[in-house]
Structure 1
Amino acid sequence: MGRPRQPLLSRDRIVAAALTLVDDEGLDAVSTRRLAAELGVSGPALYNHFATKDELIDAVVDSVLGEVDVAVFADPAITADGAWQAPLRTWARSYRAALAAHPNVVPALAQGPGRRPNALRMADAVFGALVDAGWPRAQATRVGVLMRYFVTGSALGSFAGGFPDDAKLYAGAYPHLDQAHLLADAQREINEAAFETGLTALLDGLALKYATFDRKPVG
């Protein structure tokens, strides 16, 4: 039997093609007709792998979350007093990097993990590590939610990039924005520095909260 002219259709191949569309044009660009054309197959062939568009979008989002480093939470040393901060910082940076590489998927994250395996695995890893480190379960939930809000919010867009480079726009009417026309050119540096400033502030504040808990000795 001769080899097929097109590579065999698979979930991974469909997800990769859909993610490229999302990256290039946004979530609304994904459609059965468009994907079928990109993959060189008939539209019905896609339904053998994904019953609905929502199911496909879930898989696309989950593929991005699969890029996030959660292995940092596997170290038993995290149970030492205060040792939770370093892996939480590493995870937050990895999470932001994944979303910054694929910012168009961020709106689809708003509904929570749903049935997405990588999303549930990440939630389990973060929550479990915090509880093992001595955070009460209710507080660990709040910390996980807080960090998710912070990271996803930072990946939604570039605040610095939203300032036009027209110096005349700010002259007179906005005297404190006399350098705002320079922000767009340095947006990546500004965004990363702002994220690190916020992350440090969050972790420092959480450390103060953590110190108030009456924790039982581990072991």
Structure 2
Amino acid sequence: MAEHGEAAAGAATGAAAGGAAARGRGRPGRRRVLSEAEILDAALGLLGEKGAEAVSVRGIAAAVGVAPNAVYTYFPDRAALVGALVERILGELDRAAFADPGRPWRYRVHAVAAQLRERLMARPGAVDLLLFGPMDGPNALALGETLLEILAEAGLTTEDAARASYLLIVQVLGFVALEAAEVDRAAPVPSEAERVAARAAALRAVPAEAYPRTAASAGTVARYVTGEQFRWGLDRVLDGLVAGRSVK
């Protein structure tokens, strides 16, 4: 009889424990707290590690350990996410370095361009986002406004300054896009000297008898990916803008 009582008590205890466990399994766990900044941090991480193709809602969700729906709470689609990333990248620019009206206007244009190139080449996949993503957020508008102010100070009319601003953005993004095309976007960017050396080695394989002018200018062609070439091209654009400016 005692044994029967002990068995019943044991069964009751087991049932109670099982019920508690079942209730625990049925109760939702603590939700993962997520912020827009954390999503963008993860997106920038993917951009730097794997390139622009890896920046997707599912990829970001996996990186931060949430379901894709959690990301959609902040960004309804990839286009919205890319727009926010473009804003984040442009927000990294130090506007104080080129917004000082006490500096010569050409210096300020070079400062804008150099910073933009530096930030984009830090994550080569980022140039794809700026080429194909929207540039209509507050940081993009602030950058455009600053360029317009600088070009007005250079003596350009309102219309010419607007055209010149677009031309300068095309010049910078085009240069960086070609520069970034030669590096592995999922690996650390080699130094400028290493990239020049690799280009020079490839150019040595070009048959001089078939392409004599290319062979003769190989040293210059190898340096297409340098800051020197970047500044040279920018100066030629600025020279043209000054020479062809309209009278206000």
**TM-score bracket, shorter-length normalisation:** 0.7 to 0.9
Correspondence list, 1:137-176, <5 A:
137-158=158-179, 165=202, 167-176=204-213
| Residues 64, 102 of structure 1: 8 Å contact kept | no
Structure 2: gaps spanning 5 or more residues:
1-28, 183-195
Post-superposition offset of 1:205? 2.4
Whole-angstrom CA distance in 2 between matches of 1:62 and 1:118: 6
Superposition map of 1:1-219 within 5 A: 8-77=33-102, 83-110=104-131, 113-131=134-152, 134-158=155-179, 165=202, 167-178=204-215, 190-210=225-245, 213-214=247-248
Counterpart AA for 1:213:
V
The TM-score normalised by the length of structure 1 is 0.76
Aligned partner of residue 125 in structure 2, secondary structure: helix
Q: 1:76 to 1:197 in 2, by over 3 A?
A: closer
Q: Which has the higher helix share?
A: 2
TM-score norm. by structure 2 comes to: 0.68
The percentage of counterpart residues that share the same residue type is 32
- Per-residue Cα deviation, 1:19-55 (whole angstroms, up to 9, x for no partner): 2222332322222222111111222111221111111
Pairwise CA distance, 1:109: 2.2
In terms of mean alpha carbon deviation, does 122-131 or 161-170 score higher?
Answer: 161-170
| Structure 1: distance between partners of 2:206 and 2:98 | 48
- Paired with 2:59 and 2:218, the residues of 1 have a C-alpha distance of 39
Cα pair 2:42 2:64 within 8 Å, conserved: yes
Equivalent-residue separation in structure 1 for 2:30 and 2:213 (angstroms)? 62
